[in-house]
Structure 1
Amino acid sequence: MAARIAQTTGAEHTAILGLGVYRPVRVVTNDEVAGPINSSDEWIRTRSGIKTRRFASDDETIHTMSVAAARGAIESAGVDVDQVDCVIVATSTHLQLTPAAGPRIATELGMNGAAAFDIMAGCAGFCHGLALASDLVRAGTSKNVLVIGVEKLTDTVNPADRSTAFLFADGAGAVIVGPSEEPGIGPTVWGSDGTQHHAIRQDKNWIEFFREIDEKGLDAVRPYLAMEGTAVFRWAAHSLEKVCRDAIDRAGLSTDDLDAMIPHQANGRIIDIMARVLKLPENCVLADDIEETGNTSAASIPLAMEALLRQGRSKPGDTALLIAFGAGLSYAAQVVTLPDWR
């Protein structure tokens, strides 16, 4: 008779216990990015809803921004560093293929032996990480999980590219996911659509770039982030309503139960369309951090969450719908209870 393998069980419910963010020091106006793309402040605001964004300096790296945001999350959660036994880093801009950013971040935070790894699901990465963290705690694999969304997109964007240069920016947001007496993270609705893989992509792979160096030398052009804005806009406008409604339904709620909606800060027009088709109640706050922060990909939802709480537009304990989509195309949504953030 085969030996019986023991199984673990964890918390019945999970929640976001704490939140921290890091916003780079340098504020960049539309006028600053408009020149190289032959644009204007008015054009950028009309097309994206962005007024300013943050660009990281050379000293503000994926690691340093992540550590700063993580320390804020740990402090606001009221847990000790040694109580966090897993670190999930969602990013598409850690440009060193190996090792992952996670282990170094865990060590810099003073964690001893914590599991640590990176995931790459584009702008949906944070919501993917949140789903994994909740399931890890409920399964008993982890006690408390640190989830970080971090991007330094200025390392990947061509400042002369009219489709991307005005949109993307830098920053980091982090949360602690742990056990809770009440459900604080609803079931995740997620998926992907590989037929749209071309819509957001790196415009050449590294092997192609190395071959170009051999052929052209200094005239070789490095890989940059490329985006087909119209394709992304149409896909999001057509596909995301069902994802949002499924997440709300699976949480056992209706739109009338929502205090806030925190979508990925992709584009102001997309955010407005999503809110309109869902027919959100008047008292439901819509996150619009894109105006001041730009599109920070995997970092955008925790940054937008912090902005709502800091501004007093939302409060700890509120019920919020999170929805994100990005390269892949990948998407994920869940309903959460907003955490303490100080």
Structure 2
Amino acid sequence: MTSTELQTSKRISVAPMMDWSDRHYRHFARLFNPTAWLYSEMVTTGALIFGDRDRHLRFNDSEHPVVLQLGGSDPQALATCSKMAQDYGYDEVNLNVGCPSDRVQNNKIGACLMAEPQLVAECIAAMQNAVDIPVTVKHRIGIDDLDSYENMLNFVDTVAATGCRHFIVHARIAFLQGLSPKENRDIPPLRYEDVYRLKQERPHLTIEINGGISTPEEIEQQLPVTDGVMIGRAAYHNPYILAQAGIMDGHALPDRFAIMQQYMPYLAEQMEQGIALSSMTRHLLGLFQYQVGARSWRQMLSGGNAKTLADVHQAIDVMQELTDKANERQIERLKSFGEKTSA
């Protein structure tokens, strides 16, 4: 399938998450939902131009549709790296204008660029001229004192004048001083109404909403008023939310044990290539979130407890036994309830 065939009118995507949304997680996430758009971790232009390009860019064919998110503010460097993304087979390339960390601010990357919409427009124009794949922007609704709807609208209009049509909007402002990146994900209040208004006033643009969306019900609430939903850490801590979201696209709800059965060959293949098992099992800890035995599953796979594939198989067997027993108890309770009501 091509990325165009995969894209639905209402898009579900998994946010770029530093240290989390690597290729091992993306391969795992794909097993829950065949059409969700998966984003790489943010990769700076410097890391690609001067560093190990293949380590940052390689991915598995199963990950499509997959997006490379770039961090940078030099138009030529961004154009060069966008071309790399296209050559590697990414379906889209995205510019980060939302990260508020001190480290990226010092390099003029991320949310601080919202103060320079014309520079962002120059960056996007250069990226678009370099590639045929779509170029998109992920940004905040504002930063510091530039926190009004009018400021955001000016930013979007300036960038959209380049021909860019897809904006992923984190519905919180970012405070560039005084709050950590984690605090900037939680403390500034959500202003979904600003994103809804942007979509109403700029209907020709694709407006995808991000921020604080962590349940299937919340995803469903957002879809009628936006063009898509980007899920952040909720999709990492509870990846089954991707499967539940897939129902809205007509996909069948997959079984957790079937997902692990599909992922095991990948673990074996990557270990043969020298990848540490722990660098992959860390992404599996949320598989049984909210299920019986979830804590046991996390304990069996974390802290170096899973040293071999046999340990992972044993953890799966333990969870299967716990699940079977829980189902049996549920059946017995239903039988008992039925007997009481018929007496």
> Larger C-alpha radius of gyration, 1 or 2?
2
> What TM-score does the superposition give when structure 1 sets the normalisation length?
0.28
Greater strand content: 1
Higher helix share: 2
